[in-house]
Structures are given as C-alpha cells and as structure tokens.
C-alpha cells in the first residue's frame, strides 16, 4: 500500500482476450438486447447468432443486430469453437447444456436452475461433458465492484466487519413475463447477485436467517426480503430489500455500505433506480489513514460493462490467458446453496415469544 490513497489506481476492468471466439446465444429475451449484445459489441466480441424457440422473436432480434437466427438448438450448437451464451430461463439450462458438444465453453444465465436440485443436475452435466462453464454473476465484474474488491485487497478498509445492503425501490417486474408466475422470484432472481458478491468478498457464511414475501398489491411471489448472513462473532452482514417502494424517487435507495476496521466504502447501484434507464453508479471510499470520503471516478456502469468483463474472463479462460474461471459452476453451486438455505429459513417458523408467566 502507498502512503496516499489514489482512487485512479483501483482496477475497474477485465483484460480482453487476444483472439475472441464467436458467441452463440440461446434466448431472445429483453436481457439479450438490453445487455448481452450491447456489451459484446462494445467489447469487440463477434456475435455469430442466436436461437430461441419463438422464431419470430429470434428473427426480429437477429435482424436488429445483424446476426443469424438459428433454426434449432442443434444448428446453434454446431458452430465451431463458439462460446455458448445461455440467456435462457433457469428451467431450460440443462437441456441446452446437454445439446452442446463435449468440452464446449458455456456461460449460463443466473440462477443456476430454479432449485438447488437443478443446480446439482447442471453441475453434473457440466462435469460429465467436461464443459468449461461459468454462471453469469456479472455484478462481480461491474467497474464499481472490481474497484471495491481491489480496495479491500489492498487493505484500504482494513478487515471488513460490516456489510449492509439497502434497497427501497420500484422494480418493473412486468418486463420479465416468465417471472410473473414463478414460485421463486426475489432472492432467486435478484438478491442472488448480492449474495454472490458477498460470498466473493467475505467467503461462505455459516448460515442465514431470512424472510422473503410478496405484497398485497400484486401477485409476484416475492418482492421483499430481509436476511442476515451468519459470519460468526466479528462480521455483521444484513440485507433489507423492498421492491415495492412506489412513492417517488425521493426516498428510494439501492446501496451498499461496507465498513472495515480502518476504512469504509459506499456503493450506489444506479441501474436499479428507474430501471432500465437507471442512474449513474457511485463508489466512495473513506480509506485507511484518510480524513474524508473520496469519490472513485468510475470507468463504466453495471450495464453493459459488467457483461463485457464477464465474457472477457470466459473468453480468456477458454484460450488459456486466464488461469481462473470466475463464478465457475463449481463455485456458483455454493451461491445456489446459499439461496436455497435462505428459502428454507424463510419457510421455517420464527423463534416464538415466551409465554406470559
């Protein structure tokens, strides 16, 4: 560590592959046009084409981006030396993975199945077929999160002892039709990003106390969650998530507060505020030995830059340029185990109050 904190010294991006492979995407949902393809074009990654069982939908998106709309899973899976990008609903991941050639490289949309049992099936498929597969936990690659991780690694916060996630916002769930009737929504599809990031920064917790529930004004299964991750007697970690704060922007929030023994960090995740337009992300650090907060100038935003970094790591691992495949299926399974534990906790009875003597 140098004597003075230099925010410009923090890493915010992932190295690009020297010879990127063509990308074949399965799925033509909004996330592909809003994040995947813009990111891949920005990163200079060639897009071979896409497949979706809704052929009209696939052709429309393919025409917009000037790529091929494949007619079948088999045709898409036959593209030589491709990176297979699964932007499919969690229940469809396994069948697509089974259709890929042995030894293929794949990036799987989160979550890794609807339940831990499906995640285990996906893991077993990847092992049996020797797939080089990762899960698209792209929040780890957002410029603000790469910088935060770097600051922690360089000791600017000391030992992390507190992690608070606070969300009070109005999320437009109607943008994802398949979620409107899904049995698991908030933790499995949204807060899973935060749980995965926390695992990267703090490691696996001993356990979790959680309650997730819906709201009387709509029928989405869960949109509100409170959770405490148990890291023993030193680290406190809590999440307060409310996607039904529909009372104007003034008191809405989407932020993390990370405190260490010698410094602290504040992160604003701007994308989720007025999604999908969003607001600028913010990272501020009160560094070890400092007397005030320092704003870290960010070199990009969560969308699309995190998707650029996520794909860059997959591409570089495939070519041998990166030694580690971040969020590999082996690691991502543990994030799914944490999600499963949170749902089990939510379904279990709370500790009852003592009866009146």
Does this chain's domain 23-139+307-341 share its CATH topology with 143-301? no
Which is nearest to 271 in space by CA: 251, 258, 255, 257? 255
Interval 283-304 mean pLDDT: 97
Determine the pLDDT at residue 276.
87
pLDDT at 1: 45
Alpha carbon distance 282, 293 (integer Å) = 12
Taking the CA atoms of 304, 305, 309 and 312 in sequence, report the sign of the dihedral they define.
positive
Return phi, psi of residue 236, to 5°. -110, 130
Q: Where are the domains of the chain?
A: 23-139+307-341, 143-301
Q: How confident is the model over 198-207, as a mean pLDDT?
A: 98
Give the per-residue pLDDT at 246: 97
pLDDT over 50 at 240, yes or no: yes
CA 117 from centre of chain:
20
Q: How many CA atoms lie within 13 A of 215 on its CB side?
A: 18
Looking at residue 176, its pLDDT comes to 84
Residue 178, pLDDT score: 83
Q: What is the pLDDT of residues 152-185, one digit of tens each?
A: 999 999 999 999 999 999 999 988 888 899 999 9
Integer CA distances (angstroms), 124 to 90, 135, 317, in order: 16, 14, 20
Angle at 13 between CA 152 and CA 90, to 5 degrees: 90
Band of pLDDT at residue 313, cut at 50, 70 and 90:
very high
| Side-by-side strand order, sheet with 224-231 | 207-213, 224-231, 235-242, 160-168, 253-260, 264-268, 282-286, 294-295
* CATH class label, 23-139+307-341: alpha beta
Residue 2, Cβ neighbours under 10 Å: how many? 7
Least confident segment among 110-124, 175-189, 340-354:
175-189
Question: Which pLDDT score is estimated for 177?
Answer: 84
Confidence of residue 228 (pLDDT cuts 50, 70, 90): very high
**Has domain 143-301 been given CATH number 3.30.360.10?**
yes
Give the list of residues 6+ apart from residue 213 with CB closer than 8 angstroms, or none: 222, 223, 224, 225, 346
DSSP state of 77: H
pLDDT score at 175: 86
Tens of pLDDT along 53-80? 999 999 999 999 999 999 999 999 999 9
Q: Which residues contact 264 (CB under 8 A, 6 or more apart)?
A: 157, 257, 258, 285, 286
| β partners of residue 253 | 168
Average pLDDT score over the chain: 97
| Strand residue runs (E) in the chain | 23-26, 47-51, 68-69, 83-86, 105-108, 132-135, 160-168, 207-213, 224-231, 235-242, 253-260, 264-268, 282-286, 294-295
Using the 8-state DSSP alphabet, how is residue 18 labeled? Answer: S
Percent of the chain with pLDDT over 70: 99
At what angle are helices 192-202 and 329-347 packed, to 10 degrees?
120
CA–CA dist 266, 288 (Å, integer): 14
The pLDDT value recorded for residue 75 is: 98
160-168 vs 132-135, strand pairing mode: unpaired
Give the mean model confidence (pLDDT) for residues 340-350. Answer: 97
> Mean pLDDT, to the nearest integer, of 103-109?
98
């Amino acid at each position: 560590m140098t004597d003075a904190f230099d925010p410009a010294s923090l890493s915010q991006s992932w190295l690009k592959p020297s010879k990127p492979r063509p990308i074949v995407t399965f799925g033509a949902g909004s996330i592909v046009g809003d994040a995947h393809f813009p990111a891949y074009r920005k990163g200079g990654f060639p897009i071979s084409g896409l497949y979706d069982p809704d052929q009209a939908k696939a052709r429309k998106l393919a025409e917009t981006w000037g790529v091929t709309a494949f007619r079948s899973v088999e045709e898409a899976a036959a593209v030589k030396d491709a990176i297979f990008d699964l932007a499919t609903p969690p229940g469809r991941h396994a069948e697509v993975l089974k259709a890929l050639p042995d030894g293929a490289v794949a990036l799987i949309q989160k979550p890794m199945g609807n339940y831990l049992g499906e995640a285990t099936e996906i893991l077993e498929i990847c092992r049996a077929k020797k797939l080089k597969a990762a899960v698209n936990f792209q929040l780890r690659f957002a410029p603000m999160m790469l910088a935060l991780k770097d600051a922690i690694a360089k000791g600017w916060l000391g030992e992390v002892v507190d992690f608070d996630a606070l969300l009070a916002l109005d999320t437009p769930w109607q943008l994802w039709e398949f979620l409107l009737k899904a049995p698991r929504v908030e933790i499995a599809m949204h807060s899973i990003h935060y749980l995965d990031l926390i695992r990267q920064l703090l490691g696996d917790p001993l356990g979790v106390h959680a309650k997730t529930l819906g709201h009387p004004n709509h029928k989405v299964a869960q949109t509100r969650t409170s959770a405490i991750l148990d890291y023993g007697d030193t680290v406190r970690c809590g999440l307060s998530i409310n996607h039904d704060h529909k009372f104007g922007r003034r008191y809405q929030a989407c932020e993390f507060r990370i405190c260490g023994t010698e410094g602290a960090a504040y992160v604003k995740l701007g994308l989720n505020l007025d999604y999908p337009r969003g607001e600028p992300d913010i990272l501020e650090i009160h560094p070890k030995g400092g007397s005030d907060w320092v704003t870290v100038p960010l070199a990009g935003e969560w969308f699309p830059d995190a998707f650029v970094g996520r794909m860059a790591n997959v591409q570089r691992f495939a070519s041998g340029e990166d030694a580690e495949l971040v969020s590999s299926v082996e690691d991502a399974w543990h994030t799914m185990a944490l999600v499963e534990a949170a749902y089990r906790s939510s379904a279990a009875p709370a500790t009852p109050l003592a009866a009146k003597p």
